[in-house]
Amino acid sequence: MLKGKVAIVTGSTSGIGLGIAKELAGLGADLVLNGFGDAAEIESIRGGIERESAVRVIYDGADMSKGDAVRGMIAAAFEKFGRIDILVNNAGIQFTAPVEEFPAAKWDAILGINLSAAFHGIAAAVPRMKKQRWGRIINIASTHGLVASTHKAAYVAAKHGLVGLTKVVGLETAGSGVTCNAVCPGWVRTPLVEKQISDMAARRGITQKEAANELLAEKQPSLDFVSPSQLGGTVAFLCSPAADQITGTTISVDGGWTAQ
């Protein structure tokens, strides 16, 4: 379905981003991976996807906290492949604390990586996509882009901002062959969530399994985690012809969280 297309997925060296990257490569898209991690491990991931899916895969270590680096990554991908078709803004970080104790530096970092990086990537990619008359921008927001939880001031603000940005870009690109949508996952068992489970288990003196079940029971009626490959499938759908008229909106993949 995506043969001949080029996809950039930020924060794709692990977790949700890697799941999405693998799905897009499996459908034939050439790929730009991005994220932090051990160089040898990243090279192993890059080479593995290239072999398994018979597509071209490059790695760009652009720091998502720096706007110029984000725009540089888009330019470098275009120079390498001659086109950019799909941009998945997935990179994100998390920190929890009550608002009055929230460190200003953490606020700035979360807003920078979770929201501003998407703005810079979109601003650099849209002109190229419009010229091609085809493009798919998919922002990985969160259930926290639609509802709030305590102690997550920066994350909730950034993800709500990402949903707002999605709507604006959807309107601005309407009719151009470019669409912009947000995917809002509930709990996904990523390293980010794993840390929250461990913290809860330590704080409450309970097992990891009990903490995981409690986390789900509090928010996610399905009592099951969303998988990175399911999110990859959602992104693939948004890149399909069936989604040509879906733009400026959100798709919740949250086991019923926001239905409550």
Same domain, 194 and 174: no
Bridge partners, residue 31, by sequence: 7, 57
Q: What is the pTM of this model?
A: 0.94
Q: What is the CATH number of the domain that holds 139?
A: 3.40.50.720
Q: Of residues 155, 187, 225, 257, which has the active-site annotation?
A: 155
Same domain, 112 and 159: yes
Q: Which of 155, 165, 154, 150 is nearest to 185 (CA)?
A: 155
Same domain, 202 and 244: no
Q: Residue 259 domain-assigned?
A: no
Give tens-digit pLDDT for 119-158. 999 999 999 999 999 999 999 999 999 999 999 999 999 9
Angstrom distance (rounded) from CA 68 to CA 76: 12
Same domain, 151 and 178: yes
Q: Residue 22 domain-assigned?
A: yes
Please report which confidence band the pLDDT of residue 195 belongs to, taking 50, 70 and 90 as the band edges: confident
Q: Which of 35, 45, 30 is nearest to 84 (CA)?
A: 30
Whether 248 and 174 have beta carbons less than 8 Å apart is answered as yes
61-88 core/surface letters (b: 16 or more CB in 10 A; e: else): ebbbbebebbbbbbeebbeebebbbbbb
Instruction: Report the domain count for the chain.
Output: 2
Token pair listed for 30: 């050439």
Angle at 30 between CA 24 and CA 33, to 5 degrees: 75
Same domain, 118 and 221: no
In the predicted model, what is the mean pLDDT of residues 187-203? 87
Q: Residue 111 domain-assigned?
A: yes
Same domain, 209 and 182: no
Angle at 192 between CA 85 and CA 87, to 5 degrees: 5
- Residues recorded for the chain: 260
Same domain, 58 and 176: yes
Amino acid at 215: L
Host domain of residue 156: 6-186+227-251
Amino acid at 207: T
Mean pLDDT lowest among 21-30, 50-59, 186-195: 186-195
Same domain, 221 and 233: no
Looking at residue 171, its pLDDT comes to: 98
In the predicted model, what is the mean pLDDT of residues 43-71? 97
Q: In what order do the strands lie in the sheet with 30-33?
A: 57-59, 30-33, 6-9, 86-89, 135-140, 178-185, 250-253
Q: Which of 4, 188, 173 is nearest to 85 (CA)?
A: 4
Let me know if 155 is a catalytic residue: yes
3-12 core/surface letters (b: 16 or more CB in 10 A; e: else): eebbbbbbbb
Q: Which of 15, 154, 12, 186 is nearest to 88 (CA)?
A: 12
Give tens-digit pLDDT for 52-63. 999 999 999 999
